[in-house]
Chains A and B, each alone.
Chain A
């Protein structure tokens, strides 16, 4: 005899299972097999993951692995004899080394075949020479977030240069309203290198000599960038060398800092009532520049998908799944999630600052494989200067040595 208490939940469970079964309607891909994708982990990618899962049918399984360690996985997977992943989400910096090793499958044929069906726009294609290496869907850049209410209270103007930022930080320090006037992701490693590269490129520096590949960041522009970073850390939490973007976002959301240098696609999270205590108080401005009227200190990023040559799945199916998730409908339904690259996207409050930064001269993040190695070497070594352990010249020299070793091992230098 069935226990009466169990009948209800059992029915509910069965109904739930039934409802969660394959819903192929929105996607309509008539293929069999498996599609495995690896990508980074942030809200927009989670959204795209959901869209891809809508394509799942009884015959087609779609597995999307979202992890912040995606780069390590992607590099290893694409180097193996067969890749466990049929596609990977990449950005400017991660695509260059994959492309330089010849591991990416050109997508020209697939783009031509499905151009009409999925309304693929030219502005979504990343080309190296004639070959389409990646399909991009969003653009991003870091810019200034600031507390409009604090600025109004103290009568401060929106900072346009880093001198303005430092002046505003002093004023906020004196007023003692928040714990720290400024916050930026200075975590030793990728984040720290990223901040340096932003400032360095705006100071007119070149990471390396294009003709020889030798490091050229131990230059006056590099010293200038480092000294500015040091001045900024005086207004940041002393734990700055351990805080990453997620941490700075939380600092801003919890009202601990008055200004922050964050990714454009984190703008919407400032107004999420379940996370943020400063809803409707945060305004956005383009990244500051070093000189009045000079190039802004930020770089422009795109995120997209690539397909490796050594995938064991069907590239055709994989491509269709990706493009189905990146459809115009996705953009329309989620317009404010990020800065979409489709033409039917309408810029809103959260993305205007990115657009303004690009219009103010933000370059795309350098798409050369050596830039990636330089970035890593810098991120690993300039922390010593910011922690006060050695001079700026010494840390840049250490970074240049580390870069030289890495580039020689990779075969870019002899």
Chain B
């Protein structure tokens, strides 16, 4: 179509995207390269605090107090700090000291393991470790289980199919916070699942007791809540598989599984790529299970770091730095998939 018509159609969504995506992104990037604080000076202040029954406790301490300008308003300093904030977020100092530690007296394996421990001990890298573990750990299961569910539901009789589809979609519909809370309450001391497992004869199960248990539960949660998405897309895709090719394969003597492998999966390959892409993006931003389970010690995530710094340290700039690093991470993660999809598309169009 003519360029003008094309632009006319595309303009509204492009403008909306610019307003709702590009502008806030630019804002976050701006925050990440600036620093601000209220100028304070150390002043001796006497605080009087009531205890009870009319008594008070008086203490004189030296505390930071805001410096006031001519109008009696506190002075806020806002300055450009370049990459300092990002460097602090990535903890370059921590990395340097981790690498600088003398490990010459250990075997290569022990030294690498010790270095790995030191690096993941740093906030950002520990969060990155689990985020990547979660992202790559859930994706294969999401794709695999989603595909088998789709195949299964596709073969079921028409009558109960829609109910089955609805039931399979439920985990995706539930708000992640609610789902995580429900899971937490299922596993906490004396909860349903813990008691059930104990009555069946298993040793008492403490999901926060060790790294493996809490990470497994969070990964389980991730697979459980993301599989419906893969399921519904693959189920729709299964409807487009050419029936003649399938029948031809059957006539040639292929078993069910062989025809799935030879016809269905190649046909759905681009769909798998799209689902993987979207799930990778989603999983990289995992937050709810980390926050609800309080698993910070064993499993942290980049999004949780953003939240923690914002909520408890009130540090918008550090949070913005973490956010920008998360975005960079997602771009790096998706680049190979996007590239291969692009080439695949470009190749088939030529």
Contacts and interface: CB of A to CB of B under 8 A. Distances in A.
Interface of A: 69, 71-72, 75, 92, 96-97, 100-103, 121-129, 136, 139, 179, 187-190, 210-211, 213, 237-244, 247, 251, 254, 256, 300, 302, 339, 341, 343, 345, 347, 354-355, 358, 364, 367-370, 373, 376, 380, 383-384, 386-387, 389-390, 394, 398, 401-402, 405-406, 409-412
Interface of B: 35, 37-40, 42, 45-57, 59, 61-66, 68, 73-74, 77, 88, 94, 121, 123, 184, 188-190, 206-209, 211, 293-298, 308, 310-315, 317-318
Contacts, number: 177
24 contacts: A101-B66, A102-B74, A122-B54, A123-B56, A127-B46, A136-B49, A188-B296, A188-B297, A190-B312, A211-B62, A213-B42, A213-B64, A238-B208, A302-B50, A341-B52, A367-B59, A367-B61, A369-B63, A380-B296, A383-B296, A387-B298, A409-B315, A411-B37, A411-B77
B291 to A, nearest CB: 9
Contacts of A412: 40, 64
A360 B247 CA distance: 86
A341 B50 contact: yes
Contacts of A398: 121
Contacts of A237: 189, 206
A127 B50 CA distance: 9
Nearest to B76: A101
A355 B55 CA distance: 11
Given A239-B208, A409-B315, A189 B296 contact: yes
B206 A411 contact: no
Contacts of A401: 94
A128 B35 CA distance: 28
Nearest to B56: A123
A101 B65 CA distance: 7
Q: Which 10 residue pairs across A and B have the least CB separation, nearest first?
A: A102-B74, A411-B37, A102-B66, A238-B206, A383-B297, A238-B209, A127-B48, A242-B208, A123-B50, A72-B311
Contact of A239 (B57, B94, B207, B317): B207
A127 B296 contact: no
A411 B67 CA distance: 12
B188 A243 contact: yes
Nearest to B120: A389
A97 B51 contact: no
A300 B64 CA distance: 22
B50 A410 contact: no
Contacts of B57: 300, 364
B65 A126 contact: no
Nearest to B43: A129
B210 to A, nearest CB: 8
Nearest to A193: B312
Nearest to B55: A123
A376 B64 CA distance: 18
A195 B55 CA distance: 26
B40 A390 contact: no
A325 B339 CA distance: 63
Nearest to A138: B52
B50 A136 contact: yes
Contacts of A402: 123
Contact of B190 (A127, A256, A358, A367): A256
B314 A97 contact: yes
Contacts of B208: 238-242
B330 to A, nearest CB: 25
B294 A242 contact: yes
A157 B277 CA distance: 63
B47 A210 contact: no
B37 A409 contact: yes
Contacts of A139: 50-52
Contacts of A122: 54, 56
B49 A364 contact: yes
A343 B37 CA distance: 41
Contacts of A389: 297
Contact of A339 (B35, B52, B73, B211): B52
A241 B297 contact: yes
A71 B311 contact: yes
A302 B49 contact: yes
A387 B64 contact: no
A100 B189 CA distance: 41
A187 B121 CA distance: 19
A121 B64 contact: no
Given A188-B297, A398-B121, A411-B37, A300 B318 contact: no
Contact of B47 (A128, A211, A341, A376): A128
A244 to B, nearest CB: 8
A127 B121 contact: no
Contacts of A358: 51-52
B62 A210 contact: yes
Contacts of B37: 409-411
A306 to B, nearest CB: 14
A254 B211 CA distance: 28
A126 B66 contact: no
A63 to B, nearest CB: 22
Contact of B38 (A96, A101, A242, A244): A101
A210 B61 contact: yes
A384 B211 CA distance: 11
Given A210-B61, A238-B206, A239-B207, A343 B54 contact: yes
Given A72-B310, A75-B314, A102-B73, A367 B47 contact: yes
Given A72-B311, A97-B314, A302-B50, A102 B297 contact: no
A123 B49 CA distance: 8
A344 B92 CA distance: 58
A369 B42 CA distance: 12
B190 A254 contact: yes
A287 B195 CA distance: 32
Contacts of B64: 100, 213, 368-370, 411-412
Nearest to A237: B189
Contacts of A387: 211, 297-298
Contact of B63 (A92, A100, A189, A394): A100
Contacts of A405: 88, 318
A410 B314 contact: yes
Contact of A121 (B42, B54, B94, B297): B54
**Which of A129, A343, A345 has the most C-beta atoms of chain B within 10 angstroms of its own C-beta?**
A129
